[in-house]
Structure 1
């Protein structure tokens, strides 16, 4: 599998990663954040191919020895760690650090840290030392469902790549729901009139997060717009709404019940 096989909702993200690999301007650390519907490990391996493939630099060919070894998890300079039981522990990170200190057989060492948000605080603090002073040429890719669980110092030292939810909704459907909700809120419609509209988007965590993304995008467009519709939404109202959306996103990622979070959001924005 290479980038062109998995573009979908993340086409812009993949184009950005391709550009980095082609130009050689690769950061020492990346954080891929996405829910369970996104195959973050597959994307990380595609990125490794794009960086290391000599036949098709920046993309990966999926046919050469390097690409095949990466695909089958036996490339000598690619190291992957993942949680055992419920967490990634200090010893797991220490072992990875030891391997990264060794000179690569090829061009560079690459590490993929699966379940990065399950690292213990000790493990994160240990990893931080490597992120601050990475071995030359090393690329570390953290995979996470919830970056809120990572230390801010870890996140700040990574290039953050947020992956779109792989949704069952047809393209544009969620945007239509979000636009309708935004219009109802500015009109101060009571919550019970919005219940049927919101029923489907509160059924699970991933869909609720997608709704919040779409709603934030609606307000972002309104903030930039200058037509009659946009002028109905005062800037302070929009900024407050975006702040409430971001708070709601954090609550959902902390596993607070989605129905409660969305209802609370509607009440707060609608006044």
Structure 2
């Protein structure tokens, strides 16, 4: 099929970028509007969900290249091409599909010396915490040299998951964190079950052992919810029942271990490890820490 045919058959740009248009991200879009007048070489988008981070990155790519009124118009061919990653000035390295390797970065570096074909070349590194050490170093070499007409966009759950040298070269914007209070009923049900397991109730393994008990999306939402609860507990704002449980059961050292465990769970889910196995791994560790912590 021709490139023109692919564009005509592609999903509408506004549907793909819809998560970026949520009122939750009005502040971030406002900052990006101002930055469009003096484009930084490297943006780092943290917070939000993986889909929201991706949508904001694609919105930014369309914003830099759309020639329509009220850019991005999300209806022209250029916006559609960037939203669907089909423009020759769009490079998308997807860490959600596995480790971003040095060969991936080298392939991008090979064209950086050439001017973009349109207004801006946009290089997106999704789930950039998946960068291997060699790949990260190769990327750093690219960032050390000014690249007019090129915008790098790093996407990660938290800036702490990236090499400090990458963060120091980036303009960091934080998307609205997933809501730590009310959440999807299915996610709340799993959080309640986990709280019960930590408190000594039975039935957790029967729940996770059921065929198709939880999918990747729900598990990722649960991990994001737990990360928010942990943040509330660490800052003394343990207003929710789960945050209060963490405060009552875990000391500071155990909370740090939980933070690392949640990050590992997030990575495992992105790499398509069985969600039930990931949650069992998390639950058994949380149970053990709750029993050995000085707060228990």
TM tier, smaller? 0.5 to 0.7
Q: CA deviation at 1:49?
A: 0.7
Q: Quote the Cα distance in structure 1 between the aligned partners of 2:240 and 2:177.
A: 29
Aligned to 1:141: 153
Aligned length in residues: 262
Q: Scaled by the length of structure 2, what TM-score is found?
A: 0.61
Aligned to 2:6: none
Q: Secondary structure at the match of 1:100?
A: coil
Q: Quote the Cα distance in structure 1 between the aligned partners of 2:46 and 2:241.
A: 37
Instruction: Assess, with a 3 A threshold, how the Cα gap between structure 1 residues 49 and 237 changes in structure 2: closer, same or farther.
Output: same
* Structure 2 spans left out of the alignment, 5+ residues: 1-11
CA contact (8 A) 1:91 1:123 kept: yes
Aligned to 1:266: 287
Q: Secondary structure at the match of 1:250?
A: helix
Please point out which of 12, 15, 22 is paired with 1:11.
Answer: 22
Give yes or no for the alignment of 1:248 onto 2:251: no
CA contact (8 A) 1:9 1:164 kept: no
Aligned to 2:76: 64
Give yes or no for the alignment of 1:24 onto 2:35: yes
Instruction: Assess, with a 3 A threshold, how the Cα gap between structure 1 residues 74 and 232 changes in structure 2: closer, same or farther.
Output: closer
CA contact (8 A) 1:205 1:252 kept: no
Q: Quote the Cα distance in structure 2 between the aligned partners of 1:88 and 1:180.
A: 35
* Structure 1 spans left out of the alignment, 5+ residues: none
Q: Secondary structure at the match of 2:58?
A: helix
Instruction: Assess, with a 3 A threshold, how the Cα gap between structure 1 residues 53 and 203 changes in structure 2: closer, same or farther.
Output: same
Instruction: Assess, with a 3 A threshold, how the Cα gap between structure 1 residues 225 and 61 changes in structure 2: closer, same or farther.
Output: same
The 10-residue stretch of structure 1 (67-76 or 210-219) with the greater mean CA deviation from structure 2: 67-76
Please point out which of 165, 174, 189 is paired with 2:199.
Answer: 189
Aligned to 2:58: 45
CA contact (8 A) 1:82 1:114 kept: yes
Q: Quote the Cα distance in structure 2 between the aligned partners of 1:86 and 1:219.
A: 27
Q: Quote the Cα distance in structure 1 between the aligned partners of 2:21 and 2:205.
A: 31
The 10-residue stretch of structure 1 (147-156 or 120-129) with the greater mean CA deviation from structure 2: 147-156
Instruction: Assess, with a 3 A threshold, how the Cα gap between structure 1 residues 146 and 69 changes in structure 2: closer, same or farther.
Output: same
Aligned to 1:131: 143
